[in-house]
Structures are given as C-alpha cells and as structure tokens.
Amino acid sequence: MDEINLIQAFENQTLPLDAWTHEAHLSVAFYYLKKHSPEESLILLRSGIISYNNSVGTVNSFNSGYHETLTIFWIWTIANYINLHPEHKIEEFLVSKFAIKEFPFQFYSHEKLFSIEARAKWVEPDIRNLSLED
C-alpha cells in the first residue's frame, strides 16, 4: 500500500487490522511529521490511533491499545531523524537502525516501557537518555 492510501485508510478507519503493522505506524508518524510540528503530530496520532483501535475492536486499556510513551518516543525518533536527514523519504527511514521495533529498548527496560504509567503518560527512559547517534 502506498503512503497516501495508507494515510487515507488510517484516517478513514478502513485500514485492515493486519495492515496496521509497526511499519505502518512509523509511516503514518513520518507523514505527519513531514507536514506538521511534533506537537501537532502527537495530537493527530494520539486521536487517530485511539479512534482506529476503537473501529477495529482493539481495546484501549491498561495493557492494550494506545501507548503514550511509545507514541511520543517514535515521534521524537522520527522528528530527529528527519532533522538529520531532511532529504530522506520514509523508505530510507524504515530500513535504518532507528526504525527497528526493538529500538526503544536501547532506552527503556521492558518493565518500565510496558508499565501502566508508560501506557497512560510520558515516562522518561530508565536505561539511557534520549539521543540519536547516526
């Protein structure tokens, strides 16, 4: 699915659940960050993910659905990547070391990242401070 169709399907809540992959999450965030500030992108992503989850039957709860810390973490990662590589497109980001699903664990322990607190609100990393090293 190309980027525009992905964005439209996400926003219209017609994206099949099996297409809402890690890469799809990152692609939507990348698209928003190319067009909006990180703060605006967070608002769009937060409301969009919660609404999308509701539309496909994914419960937003203490242990499933929307995750505030991960959303902010990926916005931070992608925004910094775009600042470092403004000419890059989403395809280049997706094959970078910064896009791997395990990347947050360089900064967070599993226990901290998947705590109820981290799902509900931003929590600071407990392994190391946020910084991208290219």
Query: Mean pLDDT per 10-residue run, the chain (134 residues)?
Result: 92 96 98 97 98 96 95 98 96 97 97 97 95 70
pLDDT for the residue numbered 107: 97
Q: How many angstroms separate the CA atoms of 66 and 46, rounded?
A: 8
Integer CA distances (angstroms), 58 to 7, 51, 120, in order: 19, 10, 16
Look at the chain and count its residues.
Answer: 134
Q: How many angstroms separate the CA atoms of 91 and 54, rounded?
A: 28
pLDDT for the residue numbered 55: 96
Q: Which residue has the tokens 């322990």?
A: 109
Smallest CA-to-CA distance from 129 within 85, 66, 57, 80 is with 80
* Half-sphere exposure in the Cβ direction for 53 (13 Å, CA): 15
CB 58 within 8 A of CB 17: yes
Domain boundaries, the chain: 3-120
- For 129, list phi and psi in degrees, rounded to 5: -65, 155
Q: What are 68's two structure tokens?
A: 């505030």
pLDDT for the residue numbered 36: 97
